[in-house]
Homo-oligomer: A and B are copies of this chain.
Amino acid sequence: MLASQQPHLLLVESGPPPVDVTLIEDWIRIPAPAVDIEARLELLRRRSIPAQPSRLTPFLGADGILRFGDDWVSLSPLEVRLVSALLARPDAVVTRQALIDSGWPQVGEGRPNPRRNTLDAHMVRLRQRLPAVGLTVRTIRSRGYMLEQLAASL
């Protein structure tokens, strides 16, 4: 629905009510009593505060800062593209090809394909940075990679 990871309250004046809302989104028919709006805002607030820190979702800012919990790391532009591909499908295996597509978008436009090992090398570097925010990359051999929380931080 909405791209941001911030909670949203949709004010619906007319038309069909939205059904495709996530857990941190809600809607209300307006005009509505102030208390009703406030009540739904409060609900959203409670929902966006995770019950357990371990349930937090890593957040990748537009500034290239990856935040998770109270920690953060800065990522290089290429790493931002890689991590963003990993975050796009939480708890799912991200294909090596998907990562290449995301990391080297303009390949094919005269740009040569990166060598076999290039992605690996960058994953190694990424791995060296992620522990700072309690994350790791797990390898699923011959399939791809998956971003996951460090075992130590569970």
Q: What is A's interface to B at a CB cutoff of 8 Å?
A: 16-19, 21, 23, 29, 32-33, 35-36, 39-40, 42-43, 46-47, 61, 63-65, 74, 76-77, 92-93, 95, 140-144
A43 pairs with B21, CB closer than 8 A: yes
Q: Does A64 contact B39, Cβ atoms closer than 8 Å?
A: no
A19 touches B32 (CB 8 A): no
Shortest distance from the beta carbon of A97 to any chain B beta carbon, whole Å: 12
A-B contact pairs, 5 of them (CB 8 A): A16-B39, A19-B43, A63-B95, A64-B140, A65-B92
Using A19-B43, A141-B74 as known contacts, say yes or no to A64 and B36 having CB atoms under 8 A apart. Answer: no
Q: Are A141 and B42 touching (Cβ within 8 A)?
A: no
A41 to B, closest residue via Cβ = B19
| A74, closest chain B residue (CB) | B140
Q: Is the CB of B36 within 8 A of A19?
A: no
Determine whether the beta carbon of B63 is less than 8 Å from that of A144: yes
Chain B residues whose CB sits within 8 angstroms of the CB of A42 once the complex forms? 19
In the complex the two chains form, what is the Cα distance from A33 to B17 in whole Å? 10
Given known pairs A93-B63, A93-B64, the reply for A74 and B21 (CB within 8 Å) is no
Taking A64-B140, A93-B65, A143-B64 as contacts, is the C-beta distance between A17 and B29 under 8 angstroms? no
Say which residue of B36, B43, B142 sits within 8 Å of A29 (CB atoms).
B36
A76 to B143, CA, bound (A): 9
Output the least CB separation between A75 and chain B (Å). Answer: 9
The residue that A143 contacts in the complex, of B18, B39, B63, with Cβ under 8 A, is: B63
